[in-house]
Amino acid sequence: MGDLGRQLRALLTPNFAWLALPAGLALVAVGVLAIDTVRPRQAHTQQSLNLPIALLCMLLAMMPHPRVMGRVAYPFFGISLGLLIFLLLPFVPRGIVPVINGARSWIDTPGMNFQPSEMTKVFFALSLAWYFRFRKSHRSLLGLVFPFLLTLVPVTLIMMQPDLGTALVFAPALFAVLVAAGAKLRHLFAIGGLGTLVVVANIAIILWAPANMQLLKDHQQRRVRSMIKLASGDTSDIQADAYQQYKAMTLCGAGGVWGFGEERSREVFENFHLPEAHNDMIFAVIVNRWGMLGGIGVIGLYGALVTGFLGVSATTRDPLGRLTCVGFAAMILTQVVVNVGMTLGILPITGITLPFISYGGSSLLFTFIMLGLVLNFASRPRGMMERESFEF
């Protein structure tokens, strides 16, 4: 208890958690209001069930010592992977693993559908940080192989569900952790360049190569094509592949600088159906209701949140905390960029939630657990270090 008191006292002194915590709470408040615009019942559930559970878990996540967290990181990461495998087992009945939107991503538990991939994200970041905390092997190209393999396992399992959106956040998190952990930038830039080349080549193949040379699945190709069409002003696909994105962009654009306000926005969404408006497309609701100012405000809050995470990382002396915070920041930022990017028409449509804002128990729960862990690290800034970490 004395430890907790010390932690709370530490949190009361000015630190970067002062940026992250209010930003997170403000985002969740915006989220509840935005969900209430389109799905009042879901907003009620989010507010009265999901949010209290998530806040409680955040407080619990603030308690354990980082050393304990580090020690349980690998076992819990293993459990997460086990659950991901469980989702894919063909004999598991649909009553336990329902197929929602064509994906086997959830376990049906009383009260909510639990999404193991959200849990995996948290323990992946912790495991990665625990792995790198005193190493310097990643300074060589060969030393990067293991972390990449470690990333490939959850990414492959999640892709098999399939859930491309969640799978997308792992690579940027690894990349950011490697940058912070002192991996050589030339190695990372080379790998990043290679990755960019693959993306560009894929787009070129989608646009110009014949059907038998395509690498992505048919629906993925269509989404990329429709996104490019829409970005170039061609609305010929708006009743087909570009339907959701066109609607989201129209709703954002129509919001203008000040937004429609609560009443009008509610009426608009009642009559202009946007699929997944309370979930993946929630940013369109925000911009429509609060306009450009609301949209930029939310992006700014994410900027503050991520900056807060990076700030905690900069101030804590615990190597586990340092890298964990960077990993979480990268994951959240990736989710925000992909989600907002697809809503604004600069990235193709994929299923990914907007952290703290989108409706969903698992997503909110584990995002708050991330915040709780960051606060945990922030509350122990003067932890004794055996030696300087990540200084090469």
Residues that bind other proteins (CB under 8 A): 93-96, 98, 108, 176, 179-180, 182, 210-212, 232-235, 249-257, 264, 267-268, 270-272, 287, 291-292, 295-296, 299-300, 302-303, 306-307, 310, 313-314, 322, 326, 329-330, 333, 336-337, 340-341, 344-346, 388-392
CB 245 within 8 A of CB 226: yes
Main-chain dihedrals φ then ψ at residue 140, nearest 5 degrees: -105, 160
Q: Please, what is the minimum distance in Å from the beta carbon of residue 2 to other proteins?
A: 30
| Burial of 127 per CB tally in 10 Å (0-12, 13-18, 19+) | buried
Report the residue number, 72 or 179, with the smaller CB distance to other proteins.
Answer: 179
3-state secondary structure 10-34: HHHCCCCHHHHHHHHHHHHHHHHHH
In the Cβ-directed half-sphere of 143, how many Cα atoms lie within 13 Å?
15
CB of 195 to other proteins, least distance (A): 15
User: How near is the Cβ of 323 to other proteins at its closest, in Å?
Assistant: 9
Whole-angstrom distance, CA of residue 211 vs CA of residue 225: 13
Write the CA distances from 77 to 127, 153, 353, integer angstroms: 7, 11, 22
Closer residue to other proteins in complex, CB, 158/180: 180
Shortest Cβ distance from residue 5 to other proteins (Å)?
30
By C-beta, is 25 or 296 nearer to other proteins?
296
Q: Are 107 and 113 in contact (CB under 8 A)?
A: yes
Q: How far is CA 305 from CA 20, 93, 287, 299, 378, in A?
A: 4, 40, 19, 10, 13
State the minimum distance, in angstroms, from the CB of residue 204 to other proteins. Answer: 19
Amino acid at 44: H
| Residue closer to other proteins, measured from CB, 98 or 162 | 98
Which of 54/242 has CB closer to other proteins? 242
Whether the Cβ atoms of residue 311 and residue 26 lie closer than 8 Å to each other: no
- In the complex with other proteins, the residue whose CB is nearer, 76 or 269, is 269
Q: Helices 361-378 and 282-315, interaxial angle, to 10°?
A: 20
β-strands 107-109, 112-114 pairing: antiparallel
**Residue closest to 128 by CA, chosen among 142, 155, 140, 146:** 146
Q: Rounded to whole angstroms, how far apart are CA atoms 180 and 310?
A: 10
Kindly state the smallest distance separating residue 118's Cβ from other proteins, in Å: 22
Nearer to other proteins, 142 or 271 (CB): 271
Q: Which is nearer to other proteins, 170 or 302 (CB)?
A: 302
Q: Minimum distance between the CB of residue 4 and other proteins, rounded to whole angstroms?
A: 28
CB of 247 to other proteins, least distance (A): 9
